[in-house]
């Protein structure tokens, strides 16, 4: 973005005020020139520092942008500006920008004491990221006193997050900086933990970085250490068998949650499952459904070898009937070899394949287990194809002669108008065309669309649906008791639906009083069908009189 583009937009009258998103982006990118342009032309619309601009500038370390915004922190805006600074300090410590911290100190020198604030989490963030130069900055300023107010180092989770991040150098830094070198009696830092479990509240939300050396450091310095259920889940999902062995070896307390074995199964961590079985002292022979919802075949075999079932008829393969991975060839083959419910497994596999349009796997099932697969497709396939618009599935069923023609016909006949409306709304023209052919050519039944569907298509600018109705000479009905048959002649192109200008029903070819055989003429015929409203042609029930009414348009 450059100011030339902004000038063009302004000249075209496309800018009424400066969008906050534009100011935030300019701040994030360090574009003082863009900020100057916005303020030069629209200063009257910026009465206070917009939300998010200081944070956007602090994260990448754009001190010049922060200084630019600070010029507006005058009068009543000074307090609001000061309220935003703690987040700036946190981001600067997190991303390692000492220059931003120096700028912040400059603000403190002139700010009222009541507005001097800084977040305790700033040191925690620096420790989490291993920003020792930022920790040095905080330590060097720990005895600095703006207006007699000491800038004290505060932290809560610094040691925990450094341990979780595997940052032994940060932990050692805290040891060597407990006291100020020039004031040995002044304790600047203490070795304290925010939580016995170093993984609790860890922003990274994983256990991939925690190290044995960092855990040994905690024990060496007398910091209470034990693992919560959440911490054990994180260790299990990340496959940290080394840390689990350390917990056993050092007799560290830990809490147990079955979610730990679920996560280990999902990640394929057999060694972690072995630890829970043999070394945890906990009973984990009863897998949940989530534990078996894994794509890893060795894990399934592990559960089959160690599974203890309270109910004899409920085995691992039975629970696999609920797995989202049973549509994989290796998983399905293994499950069928160990299963006493093969039909249920095949049925679930077919349902998954249909939901994913995985026709290759359906082919495989037909080749290996034809009877079970055909039965499942007969029960489930056609219904899904018709009511969810899966034309590819319908073609698959036709290709393999899964269903008899009368089954197709029965399903087509029971499609209600609301389902056809939905197909029109989502643009399933090929599917609508197939249904039309089934009704008109195979069954000799009328196929129609409702006038409201055409009106809705016009409102949403759907040219394709309206051209399809026109080219296919589809019958249009105003309401349930009247059919409208539209014949637009041969002048309408068929089959292809291209984007273009909107065509309304008023743009359709005119209708002559009589059908004179001219191909360019269109005929609009309105008639009543007894089957459509359950009465005789001359019954009194909102229908039309007997016979055929021919309407002409002047």
Distance CA 228, CA 201 (A): 11
Distance CA 120, CA 208 (A): 26
- How large is the average pLDDT for residues 94-119? 83
Average pLDDT, the chain: 76
Q: Which residue has the higher pLDDT, 298 or 404?
A: 298
In Å, what is the CA distance from 414 to each residue of 206, 407, 409, 417?
53, 11, 9, 10
Which residue in this structure is represented by tokens 């062995």? 245
Euclidean distance between the first and the last CA atom of the chain, given in angstroms as a whole number? 58
Over the stretch 369-381, which tens digit does the pLDDT of each residue have? 999 998 888 777 7
- How large is the average pLDDT for residues 135-145? 81
What pTM was computed for the model? Answer: 0.68
Q: What percent of the chain has pLDDT over 70?
A: 70
Over the stretch 492-525, which tens digit does the pLDDT of each residue have? 233 333 322 222 333 333 333 333 333 333 222 2
Amino acid 247: pLDDT: 96
- How large is the average pLDDT for residues 38-53? 84
* Beta strands 448-450 and 179-180, pairing class: unpaired
Please report which confidence band the pLDDT of residue 148 belongs to, taking 50, 70 and 90 as the band edges: low
Distance CA 199, CA 203 (A): 9
Q: What is the DSSP letter of 50?
A: P
Which residue in this structure is represented by tokens 């001190």? 63
The answer to whether 439 and 412 have CB atoms below 8 angstroms apart is yes
Q: Is the pLDDT of residue 96 over 60?
A: yes
The answer to whether 91 and 57 have CB atoms below 8 angstroms apart is no
Over the stretch 417-447, which tens digit does the pLDDT of each residue have? 666 676 676 666 777 777 777 776 655 667 7
Tokens of 516: 């004179």
In Å, what is the CA distance from 428 to each residue of 386, 392, 438, 464, 477?
11, 12, 16, 10, 20
The residue ranges of every structural domain in the chain are: 1-119, 439-554
Amino acid 294: pLDDT: 85
Among 139-153, 156-170, 424-438, 506-520, name the one with the lowest average pLDDT. Answer: 506-520
């Amino acid at each position: 973005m450059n100011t030339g583009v902004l000038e063009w937009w302004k000249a075209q009258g496309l800018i009424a005020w400066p969008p906050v998103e534009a100011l935030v982006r300019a701040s994030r990118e360090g574009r003082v020139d863009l900020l100057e342009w916005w303020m030069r032309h629209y200063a009257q619309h910026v009465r206070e520092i917009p939300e998010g601009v200081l944070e956007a500038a602090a994260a990448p370390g754009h001190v010049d942008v922060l200084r630019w915004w600070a010029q507006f922190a005058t009068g009543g805006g000074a307090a609001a500006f000061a309220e935003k600074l703690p987040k700036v300090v946190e981001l600067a410590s997190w991303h390692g920008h000492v220059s931003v911290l120096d700028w912040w100190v400059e603000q403190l020198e002139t700010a009222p004491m009541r507005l001097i604030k800084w977040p305790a989490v700033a040191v925690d963030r620096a420790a989490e990221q291993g920003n020792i130069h930022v920790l040095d900055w905080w330590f060097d300023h720990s005895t600095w006193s703006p207006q007699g107010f000491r800038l004290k180092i505060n932290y809560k989770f610094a040691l925990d997050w450094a341990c979780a991040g595997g940052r032994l150098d940060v932990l050692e830094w805290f040891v060597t900086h407990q006291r100020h070198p020039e004031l040995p009696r002044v304790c600047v830092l203490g070795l304290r933990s925010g939580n016995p479990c170093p993984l609790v509240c860890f922003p990274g939300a994983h256990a991939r970085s925690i190290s044995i050396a960092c855990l040994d450091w905690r024990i060496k310095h007398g910091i209470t250490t034990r693992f919560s259920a959440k911490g054990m889940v994180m260790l299990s999902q990340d496959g940290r068998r080394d840390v689990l062995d350390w917990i056993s070896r050092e007799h560290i307390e830990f809490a147990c949650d079955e979610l730990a074995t679920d996560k280990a199964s999902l990640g394929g961590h057999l060694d972690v499952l072995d630890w829970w079985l043999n070394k945890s002292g906990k009973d984990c022979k009863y897998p949940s459904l989530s534990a078996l919802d894994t794509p890893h075949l060795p894990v399934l075999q592990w559960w089959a070898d160690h599974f203890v079932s309270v109910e004899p008829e409920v085995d691992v393969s039975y629970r696999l009937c609920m797995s989202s991975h049973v549509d994989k060839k290796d998983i399905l083959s293994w499950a069928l070899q160990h299963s006493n419910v093969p039909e249920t497994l095949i049925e679930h596999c077919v349902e998954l394949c249909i939901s994913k349009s995985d026709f290759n796997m359906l082919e495989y099932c037909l080749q290996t287990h034809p009877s079970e697969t055909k039965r499942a497709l007969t029960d489930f396939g056609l219904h899904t194809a018709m009511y969810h618009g899966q034309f590819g599935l319908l073609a698959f069923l036709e290709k393999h002669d899964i269903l008899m023609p009368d089954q197709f016909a029965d399903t087509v006949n029971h499609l209600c108008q609301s389902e056809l409306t939905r197909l029109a709304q989502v643009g399933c023209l090929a599917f609508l065309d197939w249904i039309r052919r089934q009704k008109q050519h195979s069954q000799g039944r009328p196929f129609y669309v409702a006038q409201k569907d055409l009106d809705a298509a016009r409102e949403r600018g759907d040219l394709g649906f309206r051209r399809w109705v026109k080219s296919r000479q589809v019958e249009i009905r105003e309401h349930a008791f009247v059919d409208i048959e539209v014949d637009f002649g041969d002048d309408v192109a068929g089959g292809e639906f291209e984007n273009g200008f909107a065509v309304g029903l008023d743009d359709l070819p005119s209708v002559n009083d009589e059908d004179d055989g001219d191909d360019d003429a269109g005929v609009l015929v309105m008639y009543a069908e007894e089957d459509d409203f359950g009465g005789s042609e001359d019954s009194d029930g909102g229908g039309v009189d007997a016979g055929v009414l021919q309407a002409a348009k002047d």
